[in-house]
Structure 1
Amino acid sequence: MVFSGWGQAIRQFLDDEKFRQNHRIRTWIYVGLGLSMFAILVGSILPPRYHFTVGQTSPTTIVSPTTTVDTAATEAEKEAAESKVPKQYAQSPAVLTQAVNRVDILYAAAMQAASDSSLSDADKLKNVRSAAPAGVSQATLVRLLTRTPAQMTVLERDTERVVEEILDAPFYQESMQQATLLVDRQILNLNLGLDHDDALIVQNVAVSVLKPNMIYQAQATAAARQQAALSVQPVLIHAGDIIVAKNGIVTQDVISKLRDVGLYSSYPSVGIAIGFALFVALSVGMLAAYVERRAPRRRVDNLLLGILGLVFVLMSILISVTKWIIAAGGPNSIAYLLPISLGAMLITVMMDSSLAVVASFYFSFLLGAALNFNYDFVFYGFVGSLVGAYSVARVTSRGTFMRAGFFVSLMNIGSVLALYLLQANRSADLHSLSLHVGLAALNGIFAAILAMGILPFFESAFGLLTPIRLLELSNPNHPLLRKVLLEAPGTYHHSLIVGNLAEAAAELVGADPLLCRVGAYYHDVGKTKRPMFFVENQMTKDNPHEKVAPSLSHLIITSHVSDGLEMLKQAGLPKPIQDICATHHGTTILWYFFNKAKEQDKNGTVKVDDFRYPGPKPKTRECAIIMICDAVEAAVRSMARPTPNRVEGVIRKIIRDRLQDGQLDECDLTLQDLDAMVGAFMKTLKGIYHSRIEYPDIDKLRKEVAK
């Protein structure tokens, strides 16, 4: 009662001419609109800024708003690539020449000293030592002087061969540690035939003259490493990547990434906030100038001005939510799904198209501003809004909105393609283009659905009621309903009673009463294919089922579901009504024909599952309500001596049977809902006692089947 009183008071205030024409209230509406738009959208306009220190805990999850290069990771990759490049060397032939010369000098000095008889052994050794490389040992020189010149010549040749074999190949500084091993290996490989002492002489002399012949090239190494660094692909931070999770520790890498994506700053964006405030003020001011200068016959009073403001607030919220999804890591392409034409549609229906055209400018500019001042979205939003405004200029039914949605989708696709072709460098691949086209196509349908869903709110809240689709479908002059009335009058009457039962039940359990009523009107349209096979349409006692087999009767009866579904699809009725038709029998059993087939069966081959409806089972409350109401109406009509107690017993038995058979497993009706529906049925069924065939005792049949 309190809420009802408040509602009446508010409605009276809104209808009062003093409110509708008050200039002060009008001014406050404009001010409130500007403040609301600024408060809702400023978060979308301002770029987020963070100022963390290493080791700090992040209070929120931060994702990258754009795709850019990760400088720290890229530098690390370059350093890793450079470290993998080996040092560059060049082989010097002069090292071999010098080594051979030193061998020649040593052996020449040894031959000369050995052949000079005037010298003492000490002088000979002294002379040879002065010509010998530093690495030649004293013992080697002593052994060498004991050899004859001919032997020395052989040793000189063998030593030069060993040195040439080693220094003809690359010989690095690191190889010096294995010089002795390399020389010994060459002595063996060359098969020189030296005795132990001669081998020691050759080994010691060769090792002493060996020097690295691979010269390090610093400039070439630097160039190779630079080329390796240039070949490294930049490491990217992709839009939507999580930089740091909530309660995560901020590291130097996190700070580097925040800098790369432009989210690291210690200064608030005061200038941007002031600029956006001025942007909103100018927008609202220009809108007010247009509204106030309109012709008197198009004047917008305070009530309509308030509704206009609410539409602007609604669109601001949708834009803000879209930006929030993107900022939270969602794809940037989600903006193409934003139903920007919704505002223009609503304004056109509730006011007029000229005002909607002006509003379209503001909606598109607000969208572009929120999405980083992207002109593409300004153009995309403006085209969609204009098409939406003109497409619903004359609304006669919900179909108008659907047609408008298709037009908007078509123009959205055209806008996306035009913007793609206008790009000088078409960086977007075909996959991204197809995604944008698909989302743009869904956009118009989405906007139409939202418009149909939001309009009832404005209609009920502000008295702006308009015809809706379900009311149109409830019109008896609808072709399908006329067909049922003329070709299957019994079914038509049955559908009306089911509609009354369903509406009463839906009101109690929180379902959609109007959908239940309209769905009940159409749930049995398939019976018009063979109306005389259904008892409510039989004008005489002649029953055609008596002339056919029970299995054929089962097919005829169950086919009315598929026939009706096909007729509804061809007529273009909404899917919820098609679902009601498809599920109003679920997978229940035709007990009458099963019993008849069982009586005729001589071999015991009849199975109860062969006499089930194909389904599916109800998945919504409305479908389940129609299923129960259809069964209740049929059962009560077939009762010979109906009394309130017997009727209630039949109703509860039907509900219990549906529960036990699992027909209500996929919908969300509770036991409390089902109990409440019984009372609604009892009130509605008064006076409805039409003759039907007596149904067999289902419990008895169940027991027989179980046995």
Structure 2
Amino acid sequence: MVFARWGRTIREFLDDARFRENRRVRITIYILLGILMFAILVGSILPPRYQFTVGQTSPVTVRSPITTVDTAATQAARQAAEEKVPKQYEQSTKVESDAVNQVDALYSTAVQVISDKTMNTTQKLETLAATAPKGVSQSTLRALLNLTPAQINTLQRDSDRIVQDLLGAPFYAESMQQAPLLVDRQMLTLELDKVSELIVQNVVVSVLKPNMVYQAAETQRAKDQAAAAVPPVMIHQGDVIVSRYGIVTANVLSKLRDVGLYSSRANLGVAVGFAAFIALAVGLLAAYVERRAPRRKVDNLMLSIFGLVFVLMSILIAFTKWIVNAGGPVSSAYILPVSLGAMLITVMMDSSLAVVASFYFSFLLGAALSFNYDFVFYGFVGSLVGAYSVSKVTSRGTFMRAGFFVSLMNVGAVISLHLLHADHTDDFHSFSLHIGLAALNGIVAAILAMGVLPFFETAFGLLTPIRLLELSNPNNPLLRKVLMEAPGTYHHSLIVGNLAEAAAEIVGADPLLCRVGAYYHDVGKTKRPMFFVENQMTKENPHDKIAPSLSHLIITSHVSDGLEMQKRAGLPKPIQDVCATHHGTTILWYFFNKAKEQDKNGTTKVDDFRYPGPKPKTRECAIIMICDAVEAAVRSMARPTPNRVEGVIRKIIRDRLQDGQLDECDLTLQDLDVMIGAFMKTLKGIYHSRIEYPDIDKLRKEVAK
């Protein structure tokens, strides 16, 4: 009971014009929408931050949100390539010439010393030692002094040839360890005695030096070229950096740094940028909503619902990003029912708002998923198809048909995006998974739309096409009450509904609202049905026995009675508005005239016989006001010929205009003129001329005679 009372209080507050038209409330709604969207989605825009340590067990599966270079792996690959580059050397001819000169100087000095008779053996050794290369032994020098000049010349020639052979080719530092062996191999072809071989080996080995000079700059240049030729090792978007319960290594930390997931501080720049993004988005959205045509004006209640749909879609987008951040595949975004928001806005408001909202939903989806254009395009296609597929709802099956259309177009979007990627990096398994999720997406959106819509209808008293179709069911308690207790009024309401629907289709109003509103506009007559002429089965009229003022009170009270009955039944406000305004502030001329005739003092005032109002403020209410008067007038005509009917219709419309009943709605004179044609066409089918059938009993008697 308490909850029901609270519900009625909240409903009355939401229906109050002070809430619906308040400018400050409107600005507050826009500000709250921006704050809520930022609070819900900022976590999806900011990359998650992990503060792992080496050796720690990861509590979640971490996937790369972007495609970037793996710094550590690339560096290791390039270092390996550099290590494979050999050192760069350049062969020096100077080493060979210096070695030959040293050999020649030694042997020449030996010949001179041997020929000099003035020097003793010690002096000869000292002179020879001063010329000999470092490494020539004393025994070799003594052996040289015991040779003849001819023998020394032979040794010189052989030594020079060996030196030239060895140093004429590349001779590295590593070759010095094998120098004695290399010299021995060269002497195999020489015919030398044992002493001569020892002298040559010692002399040649002492002058040998590496002739390959290391080129540090060239070596580094070669390493740089080898490293540059190594392609970077990439971390692709969606790659698993560390699995759940996996051990965090130094390599894992390096990858987290590369993809921007390892940091102890949040990226304030991204947060500020996203706040500016939301502010611009909400500002442009507000500019569009506020500049809409008056007939498409969105009051504060509908604006609140519009914002709630944005909040709902933001929650779904954030939830999808949470799944991806928790280790789920990026492809899970393909099943996000982004078209749900467009479907709800179309059904509860109109398709033009849904198209604008589709832009926002798709861009928010792409921004949350690392600003991926593929998801922007995918979300926009699905949202547009969803919006247009439910623009005319005739039953709940319309949602399922819309879901199939969305699924079909989603599949087309996935295929087109796949073909646009020239590298075709997705394997067949991933591609088929995306196709399957896209096909399932539309069905999920349709099911959710059918499930969420009743919540908005009940919580906010919305009048959606589905709700209107449910209210048009003849088994509705109020309609059954009218049918059983006031059948004439029921028939009158049906005809008014047909007239209103036909007129609404021509002037761009809501035909379904007009038809259903007409069904309920006279439910208040069930309280005193016999006081209304359409329910009087006999020629006896109860108004003949009461005062005109009382008759006026009874007749006009059917509006307030009907409004009270509709409120108790929980009918939406647009239906209640139809009931409250279908007579506006018109005058009951019949009872005014009757009262004037009975008034001998002349105190009767015309305003005392007016309906309480209010006047119609919407096209639908105005149409039903005119249709109600037209049906009653035409029904009371003795001979409803087309010309007479058209004249009556024009007179009714003219009277309503002159009385100011249509001043507060946006029906134009052109609308009123084209409505006359719709009335004539509909009334022609209802009050068409009929042939006069003969008297059957009279014919039977004549046949019997």
TM-score bucket of the superposed structures, by smaller chain: 0.5 to 0.7
Gaps of 5+ in 1: 472-707
Match of 1:475 in 2: none
Match of 1:19 in 2: 14
Does 2:318 align with 1:323?
Answer: no
Q: Distance in 1 between matches of 2:288 and 2:154?
A: 114
Match of 1:388 in 2: 386
Does 2:46 align with 1:46?
Answer: yes
Match of 1:138 in 2: 138
- SS of the residue 2:392 aligns to: coil
1:261-660 mapped onto 2 (5 Å cutoff): 261-263=259-261, 268-270=266-268, 272-273=270-271, 276-277=274-275, 279-280=277-278, 283-284=281-282, 287=285, 307-330=305-328, 332=330, 334-373=332-371, 377-396=375-394, 400-409=398-407, 411-412=409-410, 428-429=423-424, 431=426, 439=434, 442-443=437-438, 445-459=440-454, 462=457
Match of 2:186 in 1: 186
Q: In the alignment, residue 458 of structure 1 is paired with which amino acid?
A: L
Give the superposition deviation at 1:344.
1.0
Q: In the alignment, residue 71 of structure 1 is paired with which amino acid?
A: T
Give the superposition deviation at 1:333.
5.2
Structure 1 residues 213 and 269: CA distance shift in structure 2, 3 A = closer
Structure 1 residues 456 and 302: CA distance shift in structure 2, 3 A = farther
- SS of the residue 1:87 aligns to: coil
**Which of 48-57 and 202-211 deviates more?**
48-57
Q: Is the 8 A contact 1:344 1:356 kept in 2?
A: yes
| TM-score where L is the length of structure 2 | 0.55
- SS of the residue 1:211 aligns to: coil
Give the superposition deviation at 1:375.
5.5
Q: Distance in 1 between matches of 2:92 and 2:290?
A: 93
**Which of 404-413 and 208-217 deviates more?**
404-413
Match of 1:89 in 2: 89
**Root-mean-square deviation over aligned CA pairs:** 4.4
Q: In the alignment, residue 231 of structure 1 is paired with which amino acid?
A: A
Give the superposition deviation at 1:139.
0.6
Q: In the alignment, residue 158 of structure 2 is paired with which amino acid?
A: D
Give the superposition deviation at 1:208.
1.1
Superimposed CA distance per residue, residues 118-174 of structure 1 (whole angstroms, 9 cap, x where no aligned partner): 543333333333332221111112122222334333333333343333223321123
Q: How many positions carry a matched residue from both structures?
A: 459
Larger Rg: 2
Give the superposition deviation at 1:176.
1.8
> What is the aligned-residue identity percentage?
61
Q: In the alignment, residue 379 of structure 2 is paired with which amino acid?
A: G
Q: In the alignment, residue 83 of structure 2 is paired with which amino acid?
A: S
Match of 1:177 in 2: 177
- Aligned match for 1:207, one of 205, 208, 212: 205
Structure 1 residues 151 and 31: CA distance shift in structure 2, 3 A = closer
Q: Distance in 2 between matches of 1:451 and 1:409?
A: 10
Q: Is the 8 A contact 1:405 1:444 kept in 2?
A: no
Q: Distance in 2 between matches of 1:34 and 1:359?
A: 14
Q: Is the 8 A contact 1:103 1:156 kept in 2?
A: yes
Does 2:175 align with 1:196?
Answer: no
Does 2:121 align with 1:126?
Answer: no
Give the superposition deviation at 1:234.
1.7
- Aligned match for 1:229, one of 224, 227, 242: 227
Q: Is the 8 A contact 2:407 2:443 kept in 1?
A: no
Match of 2:637 in 1: none
Match of 1:594 in 2: none
Q: Distance in 2 between matches of 1:452 and 1:305?
A: 24
- SS of the residue 2:227 aligns to: helix
Does 2:252 align with 1:260?
Answer: no
Q: Is the 8 A contact 1:409 1:442 kept in 2?
A: no
Q: Distance in 2 between matches of 1:286 and 1:111?
A: 107
Q: Is the 8 A contact 1:179 1:207 kept in 2?
A: yes
1:151-166 mapped onto 2 (5 Å cutoff): 151-166=151-166
Superimposed CA distance per residue, residues 520-567 of structure 1 (whole angstroms, 9 cap, x where no aligned partner): xxxxxxxxxxxxxxxxxxxxxxxxxxxxxxxxxxxxxxxxxxxxxxxx
Q: In the alignment, residue 129 of structure 1 is paired with which amino acid?
A: A
Q: Distance in 2 between matches of 1:453 and 1:237?
A: 37
Superimposed CA distance per residue, residues 362-403 of structure 1 (whole angstroms, 9 cap, x where no aligned partner): 322322432445566444433331222112223445664454
Q: Distance in 1 between matches of 2:150 and 2:365?
A: 101
Q: In the alignment, residue 443 of structure 1 is paired with which amino acid?
A: A
Q: Is the 8 A contact 1:240 1:327 kept in 2?
A: no
Structure 1 residues 155 and 386: CA distance shift in structure 2, 3 A = same
Gaps of 5+ in 2: 471-705
Match of 1:69 in 2: 69
Q: In the alignment, residue 46 of structure 2 is paired with which amino acid?
A: L
Give the superposition deviation at 1:458.
2.9
Structure 1 residues 295 and 195: CA distance shift in structure 2, 3 A = closer
Give the superposition deviation at 1:268.
4.2
- SS of the residue 2:213 aligns to: strand
Match of 1:495 in 2: none
